[in-house]
Amino acid sequence: MMQSGIPLCNTCGEQVGLDANGEVFVACHECNFPVCKTCFDLDIKEGRKACLRCGTPYYDENSLADDETKVSGTRSTMAAHLDNSQEIGIHARHVSNVSAVDSELNDEYGNPIWKNRVESWKDKKDKKSKKKKGAPKEEKVAQIPPEQQMTENHSPDAAEPLSTIIPLPPNKITPYRVVIIMRLIILALFFHYRVTNPVDSAYGLWLTSIICEIWFAFSWVLDQFPKWYPVNRTTFTDRLSARYEREGEPSELAAVDFFVSTVDPLKEPPLITANTVLSILAVDYPVDKVSCYVSDDGAAMLTFESLAETSEFARKWVPFCKNFSIEPRAPEFYFSQKIDYLKDKVQPSFVKERRAMKRDYEEFKVRMNALVAKAQKTPEDGWTMQDGTAWPGNNSRDHPGMIQVFLGHSGAYDIEGNELPRLVYVSREKRPGYPHHKKAGAENALVRVSAVLTNAPYILNLDCDHYVNNSQAIREAMCFLMDPQVGREVCFVQFPQRFDGIDRSDRYANRNTVFFDVNMKGLDGIQGPVYVGTGCCFNRQALYGYGPPSMPSLPKASSSSCSWCGCCSCCCPSKKPSKDLSEAYRDTKREELDAAIFNLREIDNYDEYERSMLISQTSFEKTFGLSTVFIESTLMENGGVAESSNPSTLIKEAIHVISCGYEEKTAWGKEIGWIYGSITEDILTGFKMHCRGWRSIYCMPLRPAFKGSAPINLSDRLHQVLRWALGSVEIFLSRHCPLWYGFAGGRLKWLQRLAYINTIVYPFTSLPLVAYCTIPAICLLTGKFIIPTLSNLASALFLGLFMSIIVTSVLELRWSGVSIEDIWRNEQFWVIGGVSAHLFAVFQGFLKMLAGIDTNFTVTSKQAEDSDFGELYMIKWTTLLIPPTTLLIVNMVGIVAGFSDALNKGYEAWGPLFGKVFFAFWVILHLYPFLKGLMGRQNRTPTIVVLWSVLLASVFSLVWVKINPFVSKVDSSALAQSCISIDC
Is the preceding peptide bond at 328 cis, omega within 30 degrees of 0?
yes
Kindly report which listed range (150-164, 483-497, 856-870, 952-966) carries the lowest average pLDDT score: 856-870
Residue 792: enclosing H or E segment and its boundaries? helix 792-816
Give the active site residues: 297, 682
- What per-residue confidence (pLDDT) applies to 345? 75
- What per-residue confidence (pLDDT) applies to 907? 67
**Whole-angstrom Cα distance, residue 697 to residue 498?**
17
Q: What is the pLDDT of residues 688-719, one digit of tens each?
A: 999 988 999 999 999 999 999 888 778 888 88
* 480, 163 Cβ separation under 8 angstroms: yes
The closest of 447, 500, 529 to 261, measured between CA atoms, is: 447
Pick the residue with more confidence: 908 or 4? 908
The predicted model gives 862-874 an average pLDDT of 48
- What per-residue confidence (pLDDT) applies to 158? 53
**Whole-angstrom Cα distance, residue 909 to residue 921?**
18
Q: Which residues contact 556 (CB under 8 A, 6 or more apart)?
A: 97, 109, 110, 744, 745
Residue 73 scores a pLDDT above 60:
no
| Residue 268 marked in a binding site | yes
- What per-residue confidence (pLDDT) applies to 71? 34
The closest of 618, 670, 553 to 99, measured between CA atoms, is: 670
The closest of 410, 273, 246 to 330, measured between CA atoms, is: 273
| Residue 377 marked in a binding site | no
Residue 553 scores a pLDDT above 80:
no
Kindly report which listed range (160-174, 197-211, 361-375, 874-888) carries the lowest average pLDDT score: 874-888
- pTM of the model as a whole: 0.75
**Whole-angstrom Cα distance, residue 539 to residue 544?**
9
Residue 128: enclosing H or E segment and its boundaries? helix 124-129
Kindly report which listed range (393-397, 550-554, 626-630, 781-785) carries the lowest average pLDDT score: 550-554
**Whole-angstrom Cα distance, residue 570 to residue 135?**
44
If you count DSSP H runs as helices and E runs as strands, how many of each does the chain have, helices first? Answer: 36, 15
**Whole-angstrom Cα distance, residue 81 to residue 123?**
13
* Alpha helices (runs of H) in 643-791, residue ranges in sequence order: 650-657, 681-691, 714-732, 750-761, 766-782
Residue 857 scores a pLDDT above 70:
no
Q: What is the pLDDT of residues 717-728, one digit of tens each?
A: 888 899 999 999
Choose from 28-37, 334-343, 818-827 the range with maximum mean pLDDT.
818-827
Alpha carbon 129 to its chain centroid, in Å, reads: 44
Residue 271 scores a pLDDT above 70:
yes
Q: What is the pLDDT of residues 4-57, one digit of tens each?
A: 457 777 666 677 777 766 677 887 876 777 778 777 777 776 666 677 666 677
Provide, rounded to the nearest whole percent, the portion of the chain with pLDDT above 70.
71
SS3 helix, strand, coil % of the chain, rounded to 5?
50, 10, 40
* 443, 674 Cβ separation under 8 angstroms: yes
- What per-residue confidence (pLDDT) applies to 54? 65
The predicted model gives 362-377 an average pLDDT of 92
Pick the residue with more confidence: 623 or 674? 674
Beta bridge partners of 538: 459, 492
- What per-residue confidence (pLDDT) applies to 949? 64
* 405, 265 Cβ separation under 8 angstroms: no
Residue 877 DSSP class: B
Choose from 612-616, 761-765, 874-878 the range with maximum mean pLDDT.
761-765
| Residue 297 marked in a binding site | yes
CA-based Rg of the chain, rounded to a whole angstrom? Answer: 32
**pLDDT confidence of 59, banded at 50, 70, 90?**
low
| Residue 612 marked in a binding site | no
Pick the residue with more confidence: 590 or 526? 526
| Residue 500 marked in a binding site | no
- What per-residue confidence (pLDDT) applies to 371? 92
Alpha carbon 803 to its chain centroid, in Å, reads: 34
Look at strands 402-407 and 490-494 and give their pairing.
unpaired
**pLDDT confidence of 958, banded at 50, 70, 90?**
low
**Whole-angstrom Cα distance, residue 408 to residue 420?**
8
**Whole-angstrom Cα distance, residue 970 to residue 751?**
50
Going along the chain from its start, the domains and CATH numbers come out as 1-57 (3.30.40.10), 212-228+743-861+868-938 (no CATH), 238-341+354-376+383-548+668-710 (3.90.550.10)
**Whole-angstrom Cα distance, residue 35 to residue 345?**
53
* 495, 706 Cβ separation under 8 angstroms: yes
CA atoms within 13 A on the CB side of 320: 25
**Whole-angstrom Cα distance, residue 638 to residue 145?**
10
* 497, 478 Cβ separation under 8 angstroms: no
